[in-house]
Structure 1
Amino acid sequence: MTNDKCGGSFGPSLWLTLALGVLVTAPMAAGAQMPGVENGQWTFLGGDEGHTRYTPATEIDASNFNSLEVAWQFQSSSFTPSTTKATGTYVDGKFITVTGERRHVIALDPATGELLWSFTEADTERYQYSMRKGYGKGIAYGEIDGRGVVYITTPGFFLHALDAETGHPIEGWGEGVSIPGFPKTGTVDLVTDLIRDWGPWENLNQEYDPYQGIPLEIGYITASSPPIVANGVVIVGNSAEQGYNQTRKEMVPGDILAYDAATGDFKWKFHVIPRPGEFGHDTWENDAWEWTGDVSSWAPMSVDSELGLVYIPTNGATIDYYGGFHPGDNLFSTTLIALDIETGERAWHYQMVHHDIWNYDTPTAPILMDVTVDGETIPGVFQVTKQAFVYALNRETGEPIWPIEERAVPQSKVPGETLSPTQPFPTKPAPFDLQGRTEDHLIDYTPEIRRRAMEVAQNNNLFAPLFNPPTHVGDPAGPANICPGGGGGANITGPPVADPVEGVIYITSTSGCSPAYLAPGVESPLDSDRQTGVRHSEFSRAAGPGGRGGGGGAASIDGLSIWKGPIGRIVAIDMNTGEHTWTIPHGDAPEDEQAMIRNHPLLQGVEGVPTNPGRRGHATLTVSPTLLFATGQTSDGTPHLFAIDKQTGERVGQVEIPGGARYGMASWVHNGHQYIIIQLNDGLAAMALPGARVTGDAHD
């Protein structure tokens, strides 16, 4: 099935009252968790196949949460400077993850954090050029004849299969790679399969250099998420150079690759930019499909092994903010694709943005869980987006669970750009954050405050619709205000989580806008000799003012944001009904900001004003049968782990943690103790109740 077009002083309860009026308790749905967390394990990046990040473990609850302590800490600085965004896997008594820009694979003792083994890929030029070194996110796990195997994709775009017990490459798996320092077995050079039937590579008529990979004049490919393993197949996504940094037209398509998990043999490839005769080819209205690309699957994937389907969210086409050189809706860009795991055949797809020029690529894995809607059990897939929509679909058929309407959107004034006249708007659930900037979004605590807020918005040209198109240098309107901006809404570092038993999704979001101003590609300050591609785009992103409409600076009344908050939030949505149940701030705003609100002259004597708008950015989350766990900062800036009552959104506990969190959390059970694992800037912290701690800090 396709869419018709293409195929502080006031706590969370005040925000709940202001936003909703009532609290709604989620009814029990006929849901059951998908495989991956049996016996306290955490087998997939998102815990289970459906990427819910839900643990059935119940040792940690509201009665003992404040007794949590650091059971162990792993410092990764001895590997490489760490900007890691990763969630590790716990299976068969080992905790395995990636760390550092080299994307070292490490296995740790779950009770102590001590290093058991590590694996590092040898250096290559294609690794050095990778833009996503710190974004490995984790590993994939499978078995070959009962033997645990770790699968890892690297910044250089190689696939390795390692013995989970030793970290050694699997003998007889894959192929040899003729690069010094590479193992003689256990590796696949993914680039060779990616470009084998691709015209721009064939037209170069040159010998392939595995050290370099793809010549930059035709594109670049890397990986920013692990593969996923199901039904004996390893499915591999990829990431192109970030579209917001590109100025040129050429780029390799991010085709999906699959391999036999037991042998490393190539199985299939899915063309994300359809070739002649393939479904969707007619959504490319000129020959751009021959030489442009991206549409990469850089976000993690989810699988339903019983249905035999893998669910793949994609990026937009080259480049962000301008697509005049590839007119059409451009399937399968910014699309959720369901493919047959065994054959790679398309089961269904749903394009969430037609001809995406807003950097609205899909940033997180789709969530799979069953829900009960009007008495009917539906196998659901739920895709959370930067533009603050949740697309709710039947994961077997691709049919929307609730209607999704094609609505008219603004059109571009940039020469050469032709946008889709409509975009798909879900009717349920309601957006989880502000979309565009309208009068309804202005604060209105008093008539005077409302008047002042309106004046600020009008004088600074801040009002904008969703899907506001970019403008170009010379447009008297100035930069377009795109809200949400490319940072979301939802985004990479704060994956949503879900309770698959109750059918509730919890989303962390940040409210803000991004200016979009275009200049001729040849004049762009982003252009450099290291750019991929040769021919300049007619337009690409230009330097311009930042933070427009995001809540500070021009968008304030003497420091008071003119926009309704929270500016950073966590939202609970019951996917059985499509209704929001509560909204709370993400952490606590700095004390000086809260004091400013309390003491603001325009607010003196005004009742019911929330003084905690939360923090910008995204919380990291995981969820148990009774609690939502969320990271954030208290008003003094100290990093904390919070316990939130899932039914009410009330904060019921908080403990200090050793540093700021970087990516989604995990929770699993080892030797009878439940652990919560937090990815820090410089390593890992394992939180547990007293009695679990065996030793102190660990490192290599």
Structure 2
Amino acid sequence: MVQKRTAQRIALVALAAVAGLAASPRRIHVDRGRGWPAHGGNAGHTQFSPLDQINRGNVARLAVAWVHHTGDARADDRSQIQCNPIVVGPVLYGTSAGLKAFALDAATGRELWTFDPFAGPGEQPIGVNRGVMYWEDGDDARILFGAGSRLYALEARTGRPVAGFGREGSIDLRQDLGRDVTGLHLVSTTPGVVWRDLVIMGMRVGEGPAPAAPGHIRAYDVRSGRLRWTFHTIPWPGEVGYETWPEDAWKRVGGANTWSGISLDAERGVVFAPTGSPAYDFWGGNRLGANLFANCILALDAATGKRLWHYQVVHHDVWDRDLPAAPILFSLRRGGRRIAALAQITKSAHVFLLDRQTGQPLLPVEEQPAPPSDLDGETTWPTQPLPLKPPPFARQSLTEDGVTDRTPEAHAEARARLRALRTGRQFMPPSREGTVIFPGFDGGGEWGGAAVDPATGTLYVNSSEMAWVLTMVPVPARASAPVGERVYVQYCASCHGIDRRGGSAQGQLVPSLVDVGHRFDSTDLVALIDKGKGTMPSFGFISDGEKKAIAAFLRGESASKGEEEEGEKVEAGVPFTSTGYNRFLDSEGYPAVKPPWGTLNAVDLVHGETRWRVPLGEYPELTRRGIPPTGTENYGGPVVTAGGLVFIAASRDEMFHAFDKRTGRLLWQARLPAGGYATPSTYEVGGRQYVVVAAGGGKMGTRSGDAYVAFALP
């Protein structure tokens, strides 16, 4: 099988070479400004292109130039493509629904090569991938990308693994973490950055209530894969920030990881890494303190990993307020001078604008009082930083005046439900009654990032305006429930729900387990719990007896005496878990808040003001009833161009849009073969400008797809 795949790759590359399309390792310099050489468009993640062939005057003529089908979407509509492809010279590099890396002729979409990291017996894709990295030195050009828990280095021309990199072309990201992470969730989802001969990476780890791996930021030698430096986001003894945690927290607390991308100031040799919350997301009684360097923007020396400065945007996070996207690096014009600036969007729909040399705010930020928690063992931080400018790009609280008025019945139902919940402001702590999180766990801002037009200092960002409800429940005591039920509540209920009816996490529907006993036998269930599948992480860290006990509980059976006894020996985890990731919806499944439910926003970063805000997407059936476009929840980000346009897909209605960047007026849209839940790329090849987006669907209950669709002028 391996020989067959290799032969296929060789044939494809030979064909590409004959056509003159093999990637030129020097073309990235020749075509600067015409390609899309990095995730986010460039090392500074501006998601801006100077191309203007497609512009306000002609965008209405945009048509499909080519479509590439990867052929590996899941039939159960549970796969996605979140990749922002890169374009170097005449070649586009991306990843598929099944996490295969590939190279295409950027002008035609013809496949040049494909590499499958999960081709081995019994292997299957775990997680998602949002893009790849490119590196070159003379004739040595490489594609680096993460799949599962490994980082791969491939020859850019052929797709073959680079033999001298790690072990046969890849390294195991579970190694060199300073503690045993066997069985814990750890995957690479978003590309890092390449600086000189280093590839600098974050990773996604578990968020609890299960144990989580540490969230170190690491740099590897791009040639050999050797670890060159490590930054501990949960400080070790003697390191700055150690005092903001309980003693020896670094040995047992996980998370505080950089999963959403890294930005690079290549001229200064500085990387900027956004970090997420510590685990467990919603209860921090075992990690009391401010918890540096969780929820921080970190400025690190790219050569050594030395901390230059940090800025924490949430203290002691118990709301899953990870920094969701890489910081945007740009020059801000103010008072006749240029300032090296950094803009960081947040899930709570704020923009922190900082001087990237010092980490000091360029617009005012105020530490505001935050309510205390009443959960046993928890002590929330007394204040939280909130920018006074620019205004948030989504609503900040939900009151009865803000519930849906779609129908009188929906309005009455939503008001009654809201009265039983805690609501009213940001940073209301998690509670047993249920706390409204608004904007929700998926933003506000999300991993699609924002775009900045460097000429005007305007930031363009899409936002979901969805309320979610976070309800905490105690984990059953040892004597009060069988081990299978207790372990299920501890580790599984936060996604599948206490009632096992499923829900939604990260925009993807979580399946019901009510009838799982009819679909899986005990052996298959234990294997699924042990290995994970797709976006479900592995629970390999729990004992075999616990896995069997969970399987028995889900199948309505009793665990054996041995399994019960084994479960009794296991150390108890955190005392609380949540009932799941629950959107605040009405009885027909629509958001139970007034529209807009999703928006595209233009924010003036020079003066700290909102320029415009428009709905993004629609529910066609509501529009047909005469309801103005409501906007929809959205995933994937915008691209802004010198042609006066903002391109974005992202919306639930599977449309790809072009807006006038000055006014927010919709100028063009086209239906995609599946939802475009990814950030587009734009580039020029052969004198023609293209805009391409992955149409992988699979979120918000929509169908999965396997397409990359490129548009150009006829």
1:186-218 CA-partner distances (Å, limit 9, x unpaired): 33233222x2xx2x43xxxxxxxxxxxx422xx
Q: What letter is aligned with 2:361?
A: P
Look up the match of 2:90: 93
1:117-166 CA-partner distances (Å, limit 9, x unpaired): 112225689975x752xx210100111234321111221x2222211111
Change (3 A) 1:514 1:526: farther
Compare 647-656 and 500-509 and name the one that shifted more: 647-656
Change (3 A) 1:546 1:656: closer
Q: Which runs of 5+ in 2 are unaligned?
A: 1-27, 477-485, 493-528, 531-538, 543-569, 697-704
**Count of aligned pairs between the two proteins:** 591
Q: What letter is aligned with 1:517?
A: T
Alpha-carbon distance between aligned partners in 2 of 1:265 and 1:577, rounded to the nearest angstrom: 45
Counterpart mapping for 1:280-291 below 5 A: 280-291=241-252
Aligned match of 2:37 in 40, 43, 49? 43
- Residue 592 (structure 1) shift: 2.7
Aligned match of 1:621 in 638, 653, 671? 638
Alpha-carbon distance between aligned partners in 2 of 1:299 and 1:527, rounded to the nearest angstrom: 24
Partner secondary structure for residue 625 of structure 2: helix
Aligned match of 2:466 in 489, 512, 528? 512
1:615-665 CA-partner distances (Å, limit 9, x unpaired): 2224642111111112266xxx86332221111111122333333202111
1:369-396 CA-partner distances (Å, limit 9, x unpaired): 1112344321111111111111111111
Partner secondary structure for residue 66 of structure 1: helix
Query: Normalising to structure 2: TM-score of the pair?
Result: 0.77
Look up the match of 2:438: 483
Alpha-carbon distance between aligned partners in 2 of 1:322 and 1:369, rounded to the nearest angstrom: 36
- Residue 74 (structure 1) shift: 1.1
Aligned match of 1:502 in 443, 456, 462? 456
Q: What letter is aligned with 1:215?
A: T
Q: What letter is aligned with 1:673?
A: R
Aligned match of 2:491 in 522, 527, 530? 527
Look up the match of 2:280: 319
Look up the match of 2:669: 654
Alpha-carbon distance between aligned partners in 2 of 1:554 and 1:75, rounded to the nearest angstrom: 34
Look up the match of 1:158: 150
Q: What letter is aligned with 1:567?
A: W
Q: Which runs of 5+ in 1 are unaligned?
A: 1-33, 177-182, 202-213, 473-477, 598-610, 692-700
Alpha-carbon distance between aligned partners in 2 of 1:619 and 1:252, rounded to the nearest angstrom: 27
Look up the match of 1:75: 69
1:23-72 CA-partner distances (Å, limit 9, x unpaired): xxxxxxxxxxx999724111101111111111111111122212222111
Alpha-carbon distance between aligned partners in 2 of 1:372 and 1:578, rounded to the nearest angstrom: 13
Aligned match of 2:607 in 565, 577, 589? 577
- Residue 330 (structure 1) shift: 1.0
Alpha-carbon distance between aligned partners in 2 of 1:510 and 1:337, rounded to the nearest angstrom: 26
Q: What letter is aligned with 1:109?
A: D
Change (3 A) 1:386 1:594: farther
Q: What letter is aligned with 2:430?
A: P
Q: Is 2:692–2:711's contact at 8 Å kept on the other side of the alignment?
A: no
Look up the match of 1:230: 195
Change (3 A) 1:192 1:454: closer
Is 2:228 aligned against 1:267? yes
Aligned match of 1:423 in 339, 363, 384? 384
Is 2:343 aligned against 1:382? yes
Q: Is 1:352–1:424's contact at 8 Å kept on the other side of the alignment?
A: yes
- Residue 265 (structure 1) shift: 2.9
Q: Is 1:136–1:154's contact at 8 Å kept on the other side of the alignment?
A: yes
Is 2:154 aligned against 1:167? no
Change (3 A) 1:444 1:377: farther
- Residue 430 (structure 1) shift: 0.9
Q: Is 1:457–1:463's contact at 8 Å kept on the other side of the alignment?
A: no
Alpha-carbon distance between aligned partners in 1 of 2:102 and 2:601, rounded to the nearest angstrom: 34
Is 2:81 aligned against 1:84? yes
Change (3 A) 1:261 1:619: closer
Q: Is 2:404–2:414's contact at 8 Å kept on the other side of the alignment?
A: no
Look up the match of 1:434: 395
Q: Is 1:36–1:43's contact at 8 Å kept on the other side of the alignment?
A: no
- Residue 326 (structure 1) shift: 1.0
RMSD: 3.0
Change (3 A) 1:572 1:35: farther
Look up the match of 2:100: 104
Q: What letter is aligned with 2:442?
A: G
Alpha-carbon distance between aligned partners in 1 of 2:198 and 2:325, rounded to the nearest angstrom: 22
Higher relative contact order (CA 8 A, sep 6+): 1
Q: What letter is aligned with 2:369?
A: A
Q: Is 1:286–1:327's contact at 8 Å kept on the other side of the alignment?
A: no
- Residue 170 (structure 1) shift: 2.6
Compare 681-690 and 499-508 and name the one that shifted more: 681-690
Change (3 A) 1:404 1:381: same
Alpha-carbon distance between aligned partners in 1 of 2:93 and 2:309, rounded to the nearest angstrom: 33
Change (3 A) 1:405 1:115: same
Q: What letter is aligned with 1:192?
A: Q
Compare 581-590 and 35-44 and name the one that shifted more: 35-44
Alpha-carbon distance between aligned partners in 1 of 2:132 and 2:94, rounded to the nearest angstrom: 6
Aligned match of 1:189 in 154, 168, 172? 172
Q: What letter is aligned with 1:234?
A: V
Q: What letter is aligned with 1:174?
A: F
Alpha-carbon distance between aligned partners in 2 of 1:544 and 1:264, rounded to the nearest angstrom: 39
Q: What letter is aligned with 1:671?
A: G
Q: What letter is aligned with 2:82?
A: K
- Residue 113 (structure 1) shift: 1.1
Look up the match of 1:540: 576
Q: Is 2:151–2:188's contact at 8 Å kept on the other side of the alignment?
A: no
Change (3 A) 1:516 1:162: same
Alpha-carbon distance between aligned partners in 1 of 2:45 and 2:302, rounded to the nearest angstrom: 17
- Residue 315 (structure 1) shift: 1.4
Alpha-carbon distance between aligned partners in 2 of 1:640 and 1:655, rounded to the nearest angstrom: 6
Counterpart mapping for 1:357-376 below 5 A: 357-376=318-337
- Residue 238 (structure 1) shift: 0.7
Alpha-carbon distance between aligned partners in 1 of 2:669 and 2:44, rounded to the nearest angstrom: 28
Q: What letter is aligned with 2:438?
A: C
- Residue 401 (structure 1) shift: 0.7
- Residue 335 (structure 1) shift: 1.1
Is 2:433 aligned against 1:464? no
Partner secondary structure for residue 152 of structure 1: strand
Look up the match of 1:630: 648
Q: Is 1:586–1:619's contact at 8 Å kept on the other side of the alignment?
A: no
1:443-482 CA-partner distances (Å, limit 9, x unpaired): 999xx99x9899658645463211111113xxxxx21112
1:191-250 CA-partner distances (Å, limit 9, x unpaired): 222x2xx2x43xxxxxxxxxxxx422xx33211112310232110111112x2xx333x3
Q: What letter is aligned with 1:664?
A: T
